[in-house]
Amino acid sequence: MDIDYRALGLKVGLEMHQQLNTKHKLFCRCPLRLRQDKPEVYFLRRLRPTPSELGEIDPAALFEYKRGRFYVYESYEDNVCLVEHDEEPPHEMNPEAIDIALEVALMLHAKPVDEIHVMRKVVIDGSNTTGFQRTAVIALGGYIDDLEGRVPLETICLEEDAARKMGESEKEVRYRLDRLGFPLIEVTTAPVIHSPAQAERVAYKIGQVLRMTGRVRRGLGTIRQDLNISIKGGAKIEIKGVQRLDLLAKIVEYEVLRQLNLLRIRDELLRRNVKEEDIVPDFIDVSHVFRNTRSRVIRRALSSEGVVLALKLPNFAGLLGYEIQPKKRFGTELSDYARFWGGVGGIFHTDELPKYGISGDEVAKLRAELGCGERDCVVLVADDEEKAKRALEAVVERAIMALKGVPEETRGYNPDGTTHYSRPRPGAARMYPETDIRPILITMDRIERILKMLPEPPEVKLRKFIEEYGLSKELARQMIHSYRLDLFERLVTEFPRLPPRLIAVTLEQTMKSLAREGLPVDNIGDEHLMDLFKALSEGLIAKEAIPNVLGYLAKNPEKSVKEAIKELGLRALSIEELDGLIESLLKENEELVRKRGAQAWQPLMGMLMKRVRGKIDGRTVADRLKLHISKLLSAKS
Nearest distance, CB of residue 437 and Zn ion, angstroms: 15
Report the nearest approach of Zn ion to the CB of residue 97 (Å). 14
> Which CB sits closer to Zn ion, 82 or 607?
82
Q: Quick one: 75 or 230, whose CB is closer to Zn ion? A: 75
For Zn ion, the closer of residues 81 and 202 by Cβ is: 81
Sole window of 80-88, 312-320, 391-399, 488-496 interacting with Zn ion (rule: CB under 5 A): 80-88
Q: Using CB under 5 A, which of the segments 25-33, 56-64, 136-144, 471-479 binds Zn ion?
A: 25-33
Rule CB under 5 A: say whether 93 interacts with Zn ion: no
- The CB-of-159 to Zn ion minimum distance in angstroms stands at 16
504 contacts 533 by C-beta, under 8 angstroms: no
Exposed/middle/buried for residue 225 (C-beta within 10 Å: 0-12, 13-18, 19+): buried
Q: State which H helix or E strand residue 310 sits in.
A: strand 307-313
Angle of helix 546-555 relative to helix 526-537, nearest 10 degrees?
Answer: 150
Minimum distance of Zn ion from residue 39's CB (angstroms): 15
Q: State the DSSP H helix or E strand holding residue 627, giving kind and residue range, or none if neither.
A: helix 618-636
Nearer to Zn ion, 175 or 469 (CB): 175
How many chain residues touch Zn ion (CB under 5 A)? 5
Report which DSSP code applies to 580: H
Which residue lies nearer to Zn ion by CB, 30 or 309? Answer: 30
Q: Please, which residue, 10 or 83, has the CB nearer to Zn ion?
A: 83
Q: Is 266 left (phi over 0), alpha (psi -120 to 50) or beta?
A: alpha
30 near Zn ion, judged by CB under 5 A: yes
CB of 418 closer than 8 Å to CB of 327: yes
**Which residue stretch of 73-81, 348-356, 512-520, 606-614 sits at the interface with Zn ion (rule: CB under 5 A)?**
73-81
Binding segment for Zn ion among 6-14, 29-37, 472-480, 504-512 (CB under 5 A)?
A: 29-37
Task: Closer to Zn ion by CB, 83 or 542: give it.
Answer: 83
User: How many Cα atoms sit within 13 Å of 462 on the Cβ side?
Assistant: 9
Q: Is 26 in the site for Zn ion (CB under 5 A)?
A: no
Fill in the per-residue mask, 375 to 404: x = in contact with Zn ion (CB under 5 A), - = not in contact.
------------------------------
* Separation in Å, CA 599 to CA 245, 449, 515, 635: 54, 64, 39, 17
Nearest alpha-carbon partner for 14 in 108, 85, 107, 103: 108
Residue 608's H or E segment, with its range, is helix 601-612
Question: Shortest gap between Cβ of 133 and Zn ion (angstroms)?
Answer: 15
Residue closer to Zn ion (CB basis): 81 or 311: 81
Q: How far is the CB of 526 from Zn ion (least distance, A)?
A: 24
The nearest distance, CB 22 to Zn ion, in angstroms, is: 13
Shorter beta-carbon distance to Zn ion: residue 32 or 209: 32
Q: Which listed residue (14, 16, 28, 137) binds Zn ion by CB under 5 A?
A: 28
Instruction: Provide the Cα torsion 512, 514, 520, 523; round to 10°.
Output: -70
- Which stretch, 26-34, 165-173, 186-194, 464-472, contacts Zn ion (CB under 5 A)? 26-34
> Shortest approach of Zn ion to residue 36 CB, angstroms?
19
State the nearest-atom distance from the C-beta of 173 to Zn ion, in Å.
Answer: 21
Does position 81 bind Zn ion by CB under 5 A? yes
Give one DSSP letter per residue of 497-554, joined into a string.
TS-HHHHHHIIIIIHHHHHHTT--GGG--HHHHHHHHHHHHTTSS-GGGHHHHHHHHH
User: Residue 159 to residues 130, 182, 263, 433: CA-CA distances in angstroms?
Assistant: 14, 8, 37, 14
Q: Is the CB of 98 or the CB of 308 nearer to Zn ion?
A: 98
**CB 290, min distance to Zn ion, A:** 55
Q: Omega before 458 cis (within 30°)?
A: no
Cβ 128 to Zn ion, closest distance in Å? 13
**Of 81 and 358, CB closest to Zn ion:** 81
Q: Which stretch binds Zn ion (CB under 5 A): 83-91, 333-341, 352-360, 547-555?
A: 83-91
What is the C-alpha separation between 112 and 153, in angstroms, rounded?
Answer: 13
Residue 72 as a binder of Zn ion (CB under 5 A): the answer is: no
In three state form, how does the secondary structure of 123-179 look? CCCCCCCCCEEEEEEEEECCEEEECCEEEEEEEEEEEECCCEEEEECCCEEEEEHHH
Q: Rounded to the nearest whole angstrom, what is the least distance from the CB of residue 120 to Zn ion in the complex?
A: 18
- Collapse the DSSP code of 74 into the 3-class scheme (helix H, G, I; strand E, B; otherwise coil) and give the result: strand
- CB nearer Zn ion, residue 180 or residue 442: 180
| CA distances, 12 to each of 67, 184, 223, 454 (Å) | 34, 22, 19, 30
The region of 21-29, 308-316, 388-396, 592-600 touching Zn ion under the rule CB under 5 A is 21-29
The count of other CB atoms within 10 Å of the CB of residue 444 is 8
Asked if residue 408 lies in contact with residue 64, where contact means CB atoms within 8 angstroms, the answer is no
Considering only 83, 289, 485, 578, the residue that binds Zn ion (CB under 5 A) is 83
Residues that bind Zn ion (CB under 5 A): 28, 30, 81, 83-84
